[in-house]
Amino acid sequence: MNPTTLSALERHDGYLPIADHGLIGDGRGSALVGRDGAISFMCVPRFDSPPLFCALLDRHRGGRFLIAPHDVRRSTQRYVPDTAVLVTEMQTPTGTVELTDAFALHPGARLEVSGRPGMGRLLRSARVTRGEVDLHVSLRTRGGARLTRAASGWHVDCPRQQLHLRLACSHPLTELDTTLHITAGEQLALMLDWEPHTPHSAPCEAVETALAETVRVWHRWSADVVGDVPQPDLVRRSTITLKLLDYMDNGAIVAAPTSSLPECIGGARNWDYRYTWIRDAAYAVFALRRIGLPKEAGRFLEWALTTAQWQDHPRVLYNVDGRAPGPETMDDELEGYRNSRPVRWGNAAAEQVQHDVYGEILDCAFQWSATGGTLGSHLWQRLAGLAHRARTAWNTPDHGIWEVRTPGRPFTYSAAMCQVALDRAARLSHRLDLPGDAEAWAKQAHNLTERILTEAWDDEAGALTEHLGPGTALDSSLLALPLRRVVPADHPRMVATTRAIADRLGAGNGLLYRYLPTHSPDGIDQPEGAFLLCSFWLVDNLAGQGRVDEARELFDKLCAYANPLGLLPEQVEPTTGTFLGNFPQGLSHVGLISSAVVLARTLRGARPELSTQAWFAPAPTARQ
């Protein structure tokens, strides 16, 4: 991370690079702030609310909230250390401005417990630190707004978003697209509220007080994050980023705060990620528990098990309330980031069949019980039903972890997660003395591992392949098998698979593709970038095979892809390092944290935890 270097603003097709943005939020909604001083994507009061500003998806019609001097030549961004308070420094020929942005948190708020720490308020403070500048202030919402002058600012009614905003400002704004002349030492302060508040008579003082309180809340929370890991600064930033994606009302964690940022510039791989995926639960919980945040892990587990409304047919994703999201729609009004159409709201993957969800939920239950969570009879009956379905689902087609939009196939990863469902059900039954066919579940889990090792193995490929039966196509998701305790990292066939994936799906510079669409049709028929999470999985496999120096070298390479703020996208264009996909991506940060923990333990001399030697004991075949 090198946040102190000022660099020129460069645009491509009229848009800032995705990497030139920072994330702010309050555990309910969030916003992206660019190095140009513009808030170009903001959804409030919730992550999945219609965007108030989305110039990142259409620079002409999307709307933005800009505070910036004219003629910005160079800029940089940094966070106030260990917080989500963002500072953008912009330099012009005549002066320099420091713009501080944050979502206000209630004084004394405790981020580790359920509740609403946010005040429903955006704070923006611009201070001239050198010379003088003409500061451009512009607020334009998507879809337009009805504006009314008020004593200390403006009332902004937004019919499209069904929001009533109040803007308070330290300086008179005759209109919401104006220029103010500010000299060294002067400060412009603005507060944008979307929840009722008592009006403030002195916005400058109110903004400074609220920023100081918000910093204190973040410092109090982040003090618990473990620091004895490789790349500790990036690990801490990844942890704060995950917290920003945490819907603090109930513990759900959204995949990303944005929609439709493209996985291929100009292409159609543009998806809405402002939802919570069940499969993310076990990965996120693994990371959060081991980095010193057991309460966040427990809240996410509780959400996955008790809030998400699932019965016999669980969905793979939900909105933060645990309900099915609305239908996927295409927004014809927006041109898309760098002309990448279509812009989508909603996600049709919620209607797909994905068998891995059985294992994801049962693994959540397994981790829940390990941390003292209880499984009532009704919940256990539902969980046992999922194990029963996993007995046969593993051999039937589904759409897989990558949510292909073609007819389903019997994906190996899905079969492996059915093994996880059976294994965890057996262990839970024995551990908690719960009713069920535990012996049969344990035996079927063992047999399913053996079938995966034989039926997914292809001699020509010299590896486990993407689906059961004939075929040579590779899939980086299989690098997760050791993480889910299906096949040890140092099993000969897992070692061979790791080597084959690194060779044939390698994108250069330590990066991996998920799969090759030319070999594994997904219904889109377009290229995409390298998927960061898969490369972190490769780090874990190398460590599990005892190749610790290689693992550490790869880990450091991957960390170098983070932007100066320490934020990671979903994907990276391998030759240029350009960020692709929704941003910042939660699972990329989960991968960074998890690999750091695996490496830390290995570097301290512990046995590689994903190896055969360190494998946890198999489920017993009889109660003891």
Q: Judge if 150 and 257 occupy the same domain.
A: no
d(CA 95, CA 389): 66
Name the more confident of 204 and 447: 447
Helix then strand then coil, in percent of the chain rounded to 5, is 30, 20, 45
- Three-state SS at 508: strand
Closest CA to 318 of 306, 333, 336: 306
Over residues 466-488, mean pLDDT: 96
Query: Model confidence over 437-453: pLDDT tens digits?
Result: 999 999 999 999 999 99
Which H helix or E strand runs over 124? strand 118-140
d(CA 212, CA 222): 15
Structural domain containing residue 180: 7-222
pLDDT value, residue 449: 97
Which H helix or E strand runs over 102? strand 95-105
Q: Judge if 44 and 126 occupy the same domain.
A: yes
> Is residue 402 very low, low, confident or very high in pLDDT (cuts 50, 70, 90)?
very high
Positive/negative CA dihedral, 193, 198, 199, 202 = negative
Q: Judge if 33 and 170 occupy the same domain.
A: yes
Look up residue 317 and give its two tokens.
């994703």
Q: Judge if 556 and 532 occupy the same domain.
A: yes
Contacts of 66 (CB under 8 A, 6+ apart): 36, 37, 38, 39, 136, 137, 138, 139
Q: Judge if 340 and 450 occupy the same domain.
A: yes
Domain boundary residue among 155, 188, 222? Answer: 222
Domain holding 43: CATH number?
A: 2.70.98.10
Query: Model confidence over 218-256: pLDDT tens digits?
Result: 999 999 898 899 999 999 999 999 999 999 999 999 999
Give domain status of residue 596, yes or no.
yes
d(CA 5, CA 27): 30
Domain holding 489: CATH number?
A: 1.50.10.10
Give domain status of residue 197, yes or no.
yes
Closest CA to 432 of 374, 485, 378: 374
Portion of the chain with pLDDT greater than 90, in percent: 83
**Single pTM value for the model:** 0.95
Give domain status of residue 613, yes or no.
no
d(CA 473, CA 462): 11
Q: Judge if 317 and 187 occupy the same domain.
A: no
Please state the domain count of the chain.
Answer: 2
Q: What is the mean pLDDT of the chain?
A: 93
Give domain status of residue 135, yes or no.
yes
Q: Judge if 387 and 240 occupy the same domain.
A: yes
Give domain status of residue 610, yes or no.
no
Give domain status of residue 385, yes or no.
yes
Give domain status of residue 1, yes or no.
no
Q: Judge if 546 and 488 occupy the same domain.
A: yes
Domain boundary residue among 222, 250, 272? Answer: 222
Q: Judge if 272 and 318 occupy the same domain.
A: yes
Give domain status of residue 227, yes or no.
no
Query: Model confidence over 212-222: pLDDT tens digits?
Result: 999 999 999 99
- Three-state SS at 327: coil
* Confidence check: pLDDT of 174 > 80: yes
Q: Judge if 190 and 305 occupy the same domain.
A: no
The label of the residue with tokens 């528990």 reads 289
* Helices within 245-308 (DSSP H only): 278-290, 294-302
d(CA 522, CA 532): 19
Domain boundary residue among 222, 248, 274? Answer: 222
